[in-house]
Structure 1
Amino acid sequence: MVQKNTYFGGLFSGLGSLLTGMKVTLREFFTRKTTECYPENRATLKMYDRFRGTLELIHNGQNEHKCIACGICEMNCPNGTIQIQSEFVTDENGKKRKILKAYRYDLGSCIFCQLCVVSCPQGALRFGTEFENAVFTREKLVKQLNHEGAVLEKKGV
């Protein structure tokens, strides 16, 4: 038996470890690959339900949302990603109430912590599964989430 602390012992030990590494490499070379063929499979690609893509303000088919512009999501956001603009209006009963004017979301500074979704008392927010957000300028990552002409959802209708 050749000792490892001799010249030939170290040579054979190194050769043995090289062959072990080559065996692992060749075995992995012939195993089935699990790589997604993105973007070729873009039409059939399904994201997982728990994936956090972009923040969405939920709108129904009549362009109504549940956001009451309370500002809790804006206060809970740790880095100021959300900016809410609201205004007070008087309804037909003479009551003053706050309505949402603009809901701005900066995807570039969002850390996807989901504090806004969890803290929303109305359940008006969710994270979607959209993941293609590559842009050339950061200004394009600031999005207005409320749709044009969207109104507050009527309760009990």
Structure 2
Amino acid sequence: MFIVKYIKDVAGGIKSLMTGMKLTGRYAIHHGKEKITQQYPDNKETLHLPERFRGEVVMIHDENNEHACTGCTACELACPNATIKIITKFETTPDGKKKKALDTFVYHLELCTFCNLCIVACPTDAIKMAQTFEHSVVDRSKLTKVLNKPGSKIRAGVE
């Protein structure tokens, strides 16, 4: 009884080993015929990132320097590690009412875990993940960014 179980375990181990080595053997046989590893930065021109790649957070501005951020702070609340800081101000509308508006959208890239929770939380799709991934800098303060461009304003029709 013990010997039968032992032989089954050894046979199962050999089968598992052969399954795992099949891929390694394929790479060894096709060596030089197809590229498996791409050398970065040599492949910068041909580098293709998937559509769902999570790079840094950016605010979308149109050609008129308008964005869709209302300053609701939903992204700031959704962020698990305080990467985003929304600073708002109150503007007077033409009918005399005060309305909250975005003053500064501060993004701390050095704290970001690229979890995408802020993007999902944004009710107006004002922010998205960019395709950039090269963020090495000597001065850490360069990783803190203001996402709303100077002079930008909220797009008409966004509430």
State the TM-score, normalizing by the size of structure 1: 0.77
Q: State how 1:46-65 maps to structure 2 within 5 Å.
A: 46-65=48-67
Match of 1:126 in 2: 128
Deviation, 1:31, is: 5.2
Match of 2:118 in 1: 116
Which structure has the bigger radius of gyration? 1
Deviation, 1:36, is: 2.0
- Residues 9-61 of structure 1: CA deviation (Å, up to 9, x unaligned): xxxxxxxxxxxxxxx59647555332223223323322110000010111111
Q: Structure 1 stretches of 5 or more lacking a match?
A: 1-23
In structure 1, C-alpha distance between the alignment counterparts of 2:150 and 2:53, rounded to whole Å: 27
Q: State how 1:1-16 maps to structure 2 within 5 Å.
A: none
Match of 1:73 in 2: 75
Give the counterpart letter for 1:51 in structure 2. F
Match of 2:13 in 1: none
Match of 1:41 in 2: 43
- 42-51 or 61-70: bigger deviation: 42-51
SS at match of 2:142: helix
In structure 1, C-alpha distance between the alignment counterparts of 2:131 and 2:157, rounded to whole Å: 28
Give the counterpart letter for 1:52 in structure 2. R
In the TM superposition, structure 1's runs of 4+ consecutive aligned residues that sit over 6 Å from their partners are: none
Deviation, 1:99, is: 1.2
In structure 1, C-alpha distance between the alignment counterparts of 2:29 and 2:68, rounded to whole Å: 55
Match of 2:19 in 1: none
SS at match of 2:95: coil
- Residues 61-112 of structure 1: CA deviation (Å, up to 9, x unaligned): 1100000001111111100000011100111111111111110111111111
1:31–1:98 Cα change, 3 Å: same
Matched, 1:102 2:104: yes
